[in-house]
Structure 1
Amino acid sequence: MDLFQSMKVFAKVAEIGSLSGAARALDMSNPSVTRHIGDLEAYLNARLFNRTTRRLSLTEAGTDYLERCRQLLQDLEEATLAAGSSAAKPAGTLRISAPVSFAVNHLGRVLGEYGQRYPDVALDITLSDRMVDLVDEGFDLAIRISRIRDSALVARQFASARSMVCASPSYLKKQGTPRVPEDLASHTCLIYSYQATRGEWHFSRKGKTHIAKVKGTVNANNGDLLREAAIAGMGIIVQPSFIVADALRSKTLVPLLSDYDMASLPIYAVYPSRRHLSAKVRTFVDFLLERFGENPEWERDLPA
C-alpha cells in the first residue's frame, strides 16, 4: 500500500465529494480510486465515508482524519520542494485564521504585497472571531488579539492597538460629554459581546483603577457594526484603534476620556510549536512584523 498516494486520493475525494470526480481530477480509474480508499480504511481500521447510491459524505472519523491528512500532505509537499533546493522556498497553501474586523480593515490591504514576494504560496484565509484549534482544524497560523494562554502555541507579537472610547458629535450634542469614567453609567453604551468584562469598562489614571458600569440597547459581536452604530449617534463605544482610526480622523467619531488609560491590545501571530518552522509560516510572520511593526497605520495621526 502506498500510504502517501492513498492519503492524496482520500483528500481529493473529500474535496470533490465523489469517487468518479476524484478519479477524473487525479487522472486515475474509478476502481483505482476505490481501491485506495478501501486500503486506507483497512489500514486505519475505520470507515472514512458514508456511502449511498446518491451521496458520499465523511464520517466523524473521516472528518477528523481529513484535517490531519491535509496538514501532513502540505508538510510533505513543502519538505519535498525544500529538499530540491539549497534554501527552503515558501510554497504550498498557507491556511490562516484571522479576526473579522482586523482582516477586513487591515490584513486585506497588504496581502497583495505578500503574494508578489512569494507567488508560490496560496493563501486560504478563514475569518472568525472564535478561538479556533489550529491543530485539529488544520490551520498553519492564526492572528489573535488577546493574551495567549495556550502554552502549546508559539506566539509572536507583531503589533498592538489601543482601546478607545468614542462617540459621534451628534450624540454628545444631545446627551452631553462624559468627563470621568463614572459618568458613563448615565449614558447609552454600545456593548461588544465578546468583551471579557462585559458590562464593565476598566480605566486607570495615576495608579488608580476606575470601573465604569455600562449598559445600553445594542449588543453585538462585531466591532465594525458597533462603530457604524456609534457614528449614527446611537451611543458610546469602546473599540480598538484599528477599528475606529478612520472615523476619528474624519471626525465622525470623537475620542473621549483621553486622560484615562485602558489596557492595550497585543496582536499576535500564533502557530503550533514545531521543531522545523515551515518557510511559508516564517515568511508570513516576518511580513506581518515588517508591515505593521511598532508604528502601525491605525495609530498614526489620531486626534489627541
Structure 2
Amino acid sequence: MRGQLAPGERLVGAEVLHGGITAEMRRLTVGAPDGGTRDLVLRTFADPSFATDAERLLNREAGALIYLAGTGVPAPGSVAVDAVGAHCEYPSLLMTHLPGETVLGDRGLEARLPLLARQLVAIHALRPVERPRTYGAWVTADAVVPPPGADAGAWAVAADVIRGPVPRYEGRFLHRDFHPGNVLFDVSGPRITGVVDWVENSWGPADLDVAHCSTNLALLHGPSWGLRFAEAYEEAGGVLAAVARERLYWRLLDALAFASDVRSVARPWRRAGRAELTTRAVEKRLDGYVAALLDALG
C-alpha cells in the first residue's frame, strides 16, 4: 500500500465493507499534505480456503479492470495487485473507490430494474480483443440437492433440464456475478455509478448473466421479480436464446447452484439490513422461483 501513495500522502482511515463472501473488502482513506483525501478499495483473500485460487482470481479481476477503463462501463480502476502476497500480508488487489451505494431493499425496485437491465446490455456489447476464459458452470445435475421442504418432483425435473446437452450460444463478455449487491447507485437519481466485483468475468451466453441477476432478484424480492428481469433485459435491447427450453436451461443452471450455499448468500443480505431474509426464507423463495421457471418456460 505504502508504495502506491504519492509523496506526502498517508493512510488516515480504514473501513470494512460488508457484502463480500469470498474476500475481505476495505475502504482506505488516504490523506494528502494539503488536507484533502481520496478513497481506495482493498480486496484481500485472507481466508486460507481461497489461498490456492487467490492469484488466479486477483489477476483475472485486475486484467478486467484495466480493459474496462476505456469502455465507458463504470468499473473501478486497478491501482496495484499483489496476487501472491509478496508485499501484503495476504494476496490483495488495490483499486479506485467509486461513489454510490448498493441498494437491496424492495422500495424503488421498479425504477432500478430497467437501469440494471440497460447496464447489463452495455456490458454484453463489449468486444475485448483478448477474450476472457470460457464461463464455468457452478453446479451439475447430479450435484443438485433441493433445500429442505422443497418440491422434490419439481427439482428432479429441473435437474434433468440441466443434465441435457448445453445449448448452442453466441458468446458475450460476461460479468458473471452481476446482481444488485455488485451494482452501486446514486439513489437521488436513481442512476448507476458503478459495477464492482469482476473476479468471475468470462465469455459465454448473455442468458447466463441474465439468469444470475434474475435468481438474485427472486431471492431478494420474490420469484416474480426474477421472471421480470429477463423481460427488462430484452426491452433494453438485449438478445436472449430464442427457444424457451434453452432459456430454461440457463436460468436453472444458475438457480440450482444456489441450493448448496443459501446460508452464505443470505448472511451478507441480513448484515445489509434485510433481517427477514433468513436462510429458511431464502430457501423458500428459491423453491418458489424454480417452480415458477418450470411453469413459465417448461
What TM bracket, shorter-length normalisation?
A: under 0.3
TM-score normalised by structure 1 residue count? 0.24
Higher share of residues assigned strand? 1
Q: Which is higher, the Rg of structure 1 or of structure 2?
A: 1
